[in-house]
Structure 1
Amino acid sequence: MTSASSPQLRRPGVLPVRPEHAGIEPYGAPQIDVPVLLNVNENPYPPGEAVVATLARDVAAAARGLNRYPDRDFLALREDLADYLATESGVRVAPQQLWAANGSNEVMLHLLQAFGGPGRTALSFAPTYSMYPEYARDTSTRWVTGRRADDFTLSPEAAAATVREQAPSVVLLASPNNPTGTALTPETVAAVCEAALEVPVPLEDGRTASAVVVVDEAYGEFRRAGTPSALELLESYPNLAVSRTMSKAFALAGARVGYLAAAPALVDALRVVRLPYHLSAVTQAVARAALAHSGELLAQVDALRAERDATVAWLRARRHRGAPLEVAPSDANFVLFGRFEDRRAVWQGLLDRGVLIRVVGPEGWLRVSIGTPQEMVAFKDALVEVAGL
């Protein structure tokens, strides 16, 4: 019995979930404990002891001030990022041109919050990163895709024509592209930026603005020699933003640090939509400590590039049921390959042998992240056994 004053226990009813979220499963790649994890494009090499020592020291220093809010504009981190990009890409940007957040995922969400929304459109070119439509959905932005060519390239003419046809407020270009690994040419990026300048995005006061172009270079440090960064186009296009992450090349997937470079006015628009003090003092300390060791951390990138190129060559030399395997050229730390009549059966066969890769991309294709030499041997041995290569 309950008294009149005590609350009644009631069966939970239907929650008022937004219609666009109803029945949707949360995003996430399988997290399975197996000996060889090659499914989420992680760097297989953990930070070295010197890096760990600096991280521990700097996080301890930050911990002593955790009773205070962090620097909400993280000026010191932005200065360090500017120095890093000048060294890595040869492009010097001002600290005011940089923005950071909890992974490049949050950077992308900030961009859609600032420039997307009801009545606006976000455009990309499929196949591409599966989170992009989720950013659009969560900001009530219409999502549309153009198509890449059969070899996953994107010509300047086709890209620009699609931008003019769809009239988006935001264009998302992944380069190198996930899941294909292909990089865009500077001509294609420039053509998209030019077309975006011509697209009139209506504003409530009757004026019009230009569309924003975002080049997602999450895997930029892995690009092959001679493949330029879109950072080189920043000075020419005030509507361009170039996003990076410290998850991959810096081996900091667990730290959740992403950032972008853009014109100061674009960065200021992101400052409006961010949550207060969104980048913790600990995150800032970790990122700055890692940047101080960028030479050591990026030393493994060359080894991963070499392992990637060797994996591409090995896969292209294999035959499946009489036909050569198809392998997409890669500027990233992963390789997309196929085609298989039943790719899930191949995936399961690898998993049964302790190797986890990813079912992603067009039908018939699989993606393998580049691991250590020992992990790649395990992958190749398992694939030969499962697929009869």
Structure 2
Amino acid sequence: MARKDFSDEFKAEAVNLVLEQGYTVTKAAKALGIGETALRRWLGHRQAKVQPGPGDLVSLTPDQRRIRDLERQVAQLERERDILKKFHGLLRQGTRSQYEVIEQAEKVWPVAVVCRTLGMPRSSYYAWKARQGQPRAQREALVDQVKLIHEASGESYGSRRMSQEMRRRGHAVGRHQARGLMQEAQIAVRRARKHYYSKGGKSSAIAPNRLNRQFAVAQPNRVWAGDVTFIGTQQGWLYLAVVIDLFSRRVVGWAYSASADTQLVVRALRLALSSRRPAEGLMFHSDQGSQYASLAFQAVLHDEGITPSMSRAGNCWDNAVVERFFCSLKGERIRDRTYRDRAEARADITDYVLFFYNQQRLHSATLNMPPAEYEDLKVEAA
């Protein structure tokens, strides 16, 4: 198999997960679908100077670097404060051991960060966790599992997906029993507000609706879909562009910016191309937004041999997969959260996309498996 040539932006995203967000090499590599050896090599080759972000036009000055370093130190101290506050709060609630508290805290922060803050070796925690691997028949243990799943899913799993996740974890729990366990645990799904969309119908003059709502795709890297959404922060709007592979519903490209311009969607697409290296015949579907209709974006599609497809004007159902992803993101993670700045929002959303949505969240379109697991299963079966 030919060796993949990843873009510098993709490498920077991978290195950022380890150095700035505290994820282990193993966890970051799995989320991105790359080898650990490659990621370790990129970490070793990282230059000492701070690299400008994707939206920067020039290198940072020494004073700007010092300010950026101080901001990172402040953010780290605030995160450590939040961890200690949650840790002691959970202990006061009567949790049985420190290890169980860490197990709950790792749903919010990486284990490496939690253990480092608490001064506890990760090896001790993982050894304890390994001893808890055997299924427990007691009802109390099942209730505890339901609570953990409820928290990890962002309070978004109903009885159907709760029972599916319990069975994936080795517990023979049906939907009705899952509902009873949830009632016993005094938890319920936190419903997101419904959105009502227009049913427009004018076709684009740039590209027809070639996809035509045929969202069931038999092979990976044959049809991708993209869109842009916005997230509010105390610093201002943060715009997110994503690229989703319709085969597995996996997010394969993403980019952030303070402005919703053409470069935002181009960077998301190029990240996906660098990561996936699709063969000829790929189709890319989007709405008729100005970013996707621009000459610059259409030129990238043409140069890469990608066939464009566009929804009818104002018809969100023509791009329902991406719309549903944004609905899940905002309903399960963003919801009522207040982000201090764009950096905090970006870190939290990246955690949701790469480590929860792609790796853990059950999806009905992929045989009730997480997108990454579904891809691996289909590749092995091929």
TM beyond 0.5: no
The structure in which a higher percent of residues are helix is 2
Point out which structure has higher relative CO (alpha carbons under 8 A, 6+ apart).
1
The structure in which a higher percent of residues are strand is 1
Q: Compute the TM-score of the two structures, normalised by the length of structure 1.
A: 0.23
